[in-house]
Amino acid sequence: MSERLYRGVNAAMHKQNGGRILPRRYGMAFAHEFTCDDMTITCDNTTVTIRPSAQNAVMYHQLGTPDTSGISTTPHLDRARHYATRGGTVPGVIYVIDRTKLPALGVCEHVVKDIVFGFSVTVPEDDEVILVAADTGELSPDVIVDRIDVSV
């Protein structure tokens, strides 16, 4: 397991967030509840739970709806560069996160490929790790050990 995780954002998002790593839905529990009339997933899929759960939230995130308190990261610098620059079209910033500091700060890691079995991982090459802060908000700046500015 890599001791570093990377979060790539475009320069505009970096500026908008004041250099902070924020989820899209600040303060929202990292949980999702699928229902039988939800057309995004079948009810007989054994990887979903029948109650709101982080496991469901990870799967919901994989369906292209990352509007959660989770923050996407990757252990691969090249993949973070791809996201930071939107595929090489805009300048960006990569935050380098010290994974060993996460537990002491109450940050939960959700390794997507370990949770989403029997269900398609949207971008397998990312080896995505979703981070959720203890208060379901901003990641502590104490986890950021470096910042890499990326030009195109």
Question: What is the residue-level pLDDT of the chain in tens, covering all 152 positions?
Answer: 789 999 999 999 999 999 999 887 655 556 555 555 554 444 444 455 566 777 777 777 676 665 677 889 999 999 999 999 999 999 999 999 999 999 999 999 989 888 876 556 778 899 999 898 988 889 999 999 999 999 98
Q: Which residues face 74 on adjacent strands? A: 6
Query: Which pLDDT does position 78 carry in this prediction?
Result: 97
The rounded distance, in Å, linking the Cα atoms of 3 and 21 is 18
pTM, entire model = 0.81
Domains and CATH numbers, the chain: 4-150 (3.90.210)
Residue 128 CB partners (closer than 8 Å, separation 6+): 72, 73, 74, 111, 112, 113, 121
